Structure formats: C-alpha cells, structure tokens
Amino acid sequence: MSQPILLTVDDDPAVSRSVARDLRRRYGKDYRIIRADSGADALDALREIKLRGDAVAAILADYRMPQMDGIVFLEKAMDLFPNARRALLTAYADTDAAIQAINVVDVDHYLLKPWDPPEEKLYPVVDALVETWRAVGERPVDEIKLIGHRYSSPSFHLRDFLARNAVPYRWYSVDDDEGRRILEAADAAPHDIPVLVTPGGTVLRQPSGPELADAVGLSTRPTQEFYDLIVIGGGPAGLGAAVYGASEGLRTVIVERKATGGQAGTSSRIENYLGFPDGVSGAQLTDRARRQALKFGAEVLTARDVVGLEARGSARVVMFGDGTEISAHSVVLASGVTYRALEAPGVAELAGRGVYYGSAATEAPECKGEHVYIVGGANSAGQAAVFFSKHAADVTILVRGQSLEASMSHYLIEQIAGIGNIHVRTRTTVVEAHGDDHLERLTLCENGGATETVPTGHLFIFIGAAPRTDWLGTEIQRDDHGFVRTGPDLLTDGGPPPGWPLDRDPHYLESSIPGVFVAGDVRAASVKRVASAVGEGAMAVTLVHRYLEEQ
C-alpha cells in the first residue's frame, strides 16, 4: 500500500509552498505531501486519490479562499474521506469568524498564520492529527448489522450503546426490504428485534449489554483478580483518575456500566474546557482520554454493572451483578449522575420512542426538517440545542425559570441568541406527552396558566441529575440527595465519623470507608463541570498514593 497522504490547500502559492515544505521536512519519510491551490483543485485530487484506493491522513485548508472557503471545502472533503483529520489555517484577523464557522464542520484544530517556528506551532498540531488518524485509520471496517424498529426503545438503546462506544455498525429498519431480508437470512422474526449480526455471521436476538459488548469486541472481563486501583465510572472524573493512576504505575482498571465519557461524552461541543479554544465534542474529548488511559496500561471494562462495594481487611471489593467480583488496594468512585426523570403523563411510556434523556446524537438524522423540543436550562441543554439546530428545522428550549442566565454559561447564551432557528420559551413546562407507537404531540403549560398542544416527534430532556448510589451499602455515608460525603463533610463534633477505624481524619476526597475515594459529580458539594471532574480524578490518585503509603 502506498504512503498515506497529507493534503494542504491554500490559494496563496507562496504559503502553499511553505506549508508543503515544512510538512515534507518532518513527515516526508512516512507520508506523501500533496498541495493544491484551490478548494476545487483539492476536491479533484481527493476524488482521484479515492479512486486509486489511497488513504488521506490529514487535510490542512486555508480559511479564506475565493470561490470555496476552507469550511465549505472541508465539509465536502469529509464526504470523500470522513476519517481524515482536519485543520484550518487562518489569519489572526479571521480567528473569531473561523472559530464560529468551525461549529459547522468537526475540525480538529485551527492554526494561525504565520506558524513560525513550525517546531512549536505546526508540528505539534500535525502530530496530534496523524496520531488520531492512526487510531481511527482508513482501514476497511468489518460491518456489524443491526436490525430494529425506529420507534423501539430497545433498538434505540442498542444503537446508542454502539455509537457511544465508537463501534461502527449499519442500521436496517425492519420496515425496509433489506432489513426483512437480513432477518430472514438470520432465521429471525420481527418479534426478535433488535437483532445484531456480527461480521462473522453470529446472530444475537435482543442481546443484553454484556452480550453485545462481547460480540463487538469490547472488554468485559478483568485480566486480574487484584489491582492497585479500581475506578468505578468512565466519565471525565474516572478517566482522569485512570490516566494519572496508570501513568504512575498503579495497576488500574475502569469499570463502566455503558460507555466511557458519561454525560460529558454526549455533549455535542464543549467550548469552555481549557486548551480547546475552538471547542471539542464530548465524544472526542473522552475518546482521547480513554486512549490515553489505555496507552498507560489501564484496563477498561464495559457493560459491567456494579452492585456492591465493601471492605474486607485491607482489600476493597467491587461486586458485579453477575455474581463475580474484583478487589484492589483502593477505589475511586466516579459513577457520576443520571438525568432526572420528567414526571408527566406519557413521558415514561414513550422513552426511547421520541422521548430521550440526553442529546441522543444517533437521532440527529431523524430530526431533519422537524421541530425539536429540549427541556432544561443548563449547559447540556444549550449544547444540545446548538447541535440539533444544524439538523432540525426549529429547536425550542423549554425553561421552567424566568431566564437562562441563572443556569447556563454566558458564551452559550450568546451563541444561542445568534442562531435563528433556536427559540427559548421561559416559565414553560411539559405537562403531558402524547402518541401511540411514538411521540406525536406535547402539551405545554406557560406561566402556570393555559395549556397548549404542539406537534413534535422529538423531545430531549436535561432537567438536572441525581446520583446513582442506591447500590452502596450503609457504610458509605451520603447526603439527603444521595451524593457521597467525603473529607471534612464527614467530620462530626470535630472528629472522624462513627465507625472510622483509623487514627487520622478522612482525606479530602475520602469516603467513610478508608481507601475509597470519590471524584466528580457523585461527590457531595462538587462543582458540576468537566474541568473540575478531571481535576478531582487526578487529585484522588494523589490521595490514593498517600493512603497506600500509610498501609
């Protein structure tokens, strides 16, 4: 196979030659460097490359080009090489416009011109692009077939599971001819859906989470019985703990119930996270963190439901729903939170059939030309509104309060105000959801007065969150809302909590069981932000080391 390609596009011949020269100097041994002077010429080159069967690792495109600017070009280039990584070249004067336009195309980086010295400003960016491309690759994908019904909650949950775990699959509706043909070939019937067919021809009917994970190659079984550190939860806090724990030599395993990333992994774009001035999707951020943890030697177990945690002497034991267990010297509890249920008639019955908790990005194509409703006034709701505004005809945010200012970041409020097809209705609640097989209408109540029924097939709910800690025993102290108390919050009358076995007070992030630390949203009084969750995960590992030194 020929060398993969790095393509650069700039209408200024001098700049084009300069970029190609700098790329060739660093990457010429392993990559072919191709340059084009316009978006149209670059697309012609990409079509020829596609026909030859060659791979494109990364594309660097100038933002301001005549006839076809860099954003339009990259959007067209994605149709030909969706796995190629993308960067935008822009002048300082165009930075704001470029960052705003980046929301249209999932660009990985932007570069300011000039980029001298390239060792500091160009090569680190391109290194990141090619590293990500190698991880994703342009290799042929073994196709997993999933057959189900559009308005089936189990079908939606399987699609969401595969998407959240970055497992490529092809979706077939049982209502289509091809879907019915695959069911017949699999000796399955419509009442068996959802049905999954692996590339090897194995047929799974209504698979459970662990069955699905095993079938698609996700790790579900630990390689050891005893670890230095077990991390419960694969969100930002858990991934932060795993990266720092594994990188510092601790035998580390992450246990995740559904998919790494947690709620942050469903965010369409996080724009206030340090180091990503043009924003980053939650899926991109958490995928990089997962790969980083794996690089340092951490294990990631998926589709494992933790049902118990207890101390047995110096060991901390985590119990799974299938009766198995693993042990470690220490545990970081980073299980996060789940969205609170919307208490209104019809909502529960239509969950997964037009009513969704979280952004449910797999539903975006189904929203084309539709009117979408989003319930919630915090950042997650705002990010979802911006995301769905690119697919739906109209997006309406329903807020129970008087404004967004009390709960949403200022940058996001301004962004929403500038998008014409997003509307905000304050002091408005959903009082009922209607539909037979799927959501068809919502009844809304404004200002506690008259009601209004509106047609819609999509409702996305972001109304706060509650910790999933009911599986914890009484030894782990929690507040009235179920969040886990740690450190100073455990002290009573200036001393340690009742039953505390050590002659010291609990460490700052330590729970009422020594050696069990808590990080992220599940911790009482935590700051509900991605950056603080990552920081707490790293801090928890520091305290784990301190705890281990005491043993």
Q: Where are the domains of the chain?
A: 5-136, 145-215, 226-338+472-482+491-550, 348-463
User: Are 226-338+472-482+491-550 and 348-463 in the same CATH fold?
Assistant: yes
Query: In the prediction, which pLDDT does 98 show?
Result: 62
Percentage of the chain exceeding pLDDT 70:
96
Query: In the prediction, which pLDDT does 487 show?
Result: 94
**Residue 275 banded pLDDT, cuts 50, 70, 90:** confident
Q: How many CA atoms lie within 13 A of 45 on its CB side?
A: 20
Helix (H) or strand (E) run with residue 468 in it = none
Quick check: 1 pLDDT over 60?
Answer: no
Alpha-carbon distance of 438 to 192, in angstroms, equals 19
* Beta strands per DSSP E along 134-251: 145-148, 170-173, 195-197, 203-205, 226-232
CATH domain 145-215 topology: Glutaredoxin (3.40.30)
Q: Which CATH class is domain 5-136?
A: alpha beta
pLDDT digits (tens, 9 = 90+) for 287-344: 889 989 999 999 999 999 999 999 999 999 999 999 999 999 999 999 998 888 899 9
150-154 long-range Cβ contacts below 8 angstroms, 24+ apart: 150/175, 150/366, 150/438, 151/353, 151/354, 151/437, 151/438, 152/193, 152/194, 152/352, 152/353, 153/351, 153/352, 153/353, 154/193, 154/194, 154/206, 154/352
Alpha-carbon distance of 430 to 453, in angstroms, equals 10
Q: CATH classification of 348-463 is 3.50.50.60, yes or no?
A: yes
**Residue 165 banded pLDDT, cuts 50, 70, 90:** confident
Lowest mean pLDDT among 17-26, 133-142, 345-354, 431-440: 133-142
Alpha-carbon distance of 173 to 155, in angstroms, equals 10
Lowest mean pLDDT among 95-99, 323-327, 399-403, 429-433: 95-99
Cβ atoms 539, 549 nearer than 8 A: no
Residue with tokens 């002290």: 491
pLDDT (average), residues 441-469: 92
Q: Closest Cα partner for 465 from 266, 213, 310, 241?
A: 266
Mean of per-residue pLDDT scores for the chain: 89
pLDDT (average), residues 529-539: 94
Strongest mean pLDDT among 84-93, 162-171, 520-529: 520-529
pLDDT digits (tens, 9 = 90+) for 235-273: 999 999 999 999 999 999 999 998 888 877 777 778 888
How do 203-205 and 195-197 pair as beta strands?
A: antiparallel
Lowest mean pLDDT among 54-58, 277-281, 433-437: 277-281
Chosen CATH of 226-338+472-482+491-550 out of 3.50.50.60, 2.40.37.10, 3.40.50.800, 1.10.460.10 = 3.50.50.60
pLDDT digits (tens, 9 = 90+) for 349-363: 999 999 998 877 778
pLDDT (average), residues 164-169: 82
Residue 505: other Cβ atoms inside 10 A: 16
pLDDT digits (tens, 9 = 90+) for 508-528: 999 999 999 999 999 998 988
Where is pLDDT greater, at 440 or 114? 440
Quick check: 78 pLDDT over 90?
Answer: no
**Residue 142 banded pLDDT, cuts 50, 70, 90:** low
